[in-house]
Amino acid sequence: MSGTLFIVNDAPYGNERAYNALRLAGALAAREGQAVRLFLMADAVACAKSGQKVPEGYYNVQIMLGKVARKGGVALCGTCMDARGLRDDELIDGATRGTLAQLADWTAEADKVLVF
């Protein structure tokens, strides 16, 4: 099984980096034999905030992230969460508070690491 780690740094809205990372992660997660993990850092932790409401016809990263979370691991930088006032109980299902040590482990285990 091939494993890919996505490290996402940018906010969910305002530019399309998080959107494109989630599009690719979702496409890979849908393939047989692919293990996908996402680690959200900096402003990207907001991608995992539950209850997002976006204008009709606009992409919703919460829904996109949920699809990946059901297929693989999704962790958020705990320090980044704290800096932005994001609590564990505000996260979507399947997303958890993570640590830099966890990111180091995931990086060492991954066949590929993509940074957005």
**Domain segments of the chain as ranges:** 2-115
3-state helix, strand, coil in the chain (%, to 5): 40, 25, 35
Write the single-letter amino acid at 82. Answer: D
Q: What is the pTM of this model?
A: 0.93
pLDDT, position 72: 76
Reply yes or no on whether the pLDDT at 11 is more than 80.
yes
Q: Span 2-115: which CATH code? A: 3.40.1260.10
Q: Using only C-alpha atoms, what is the Rg of the chain?
A: 13
User: Residue 101 class from Cβ within 10 Å (0-12 exposed, 13-18 middle, 19+ buried)?
Assistant: exposed
Q: What is the pLDDT of residues 33-86, one digit of tens each?
A: 999 999 999 999 999 999 999 888 889 999 999 888 988 799 999 999 999 999
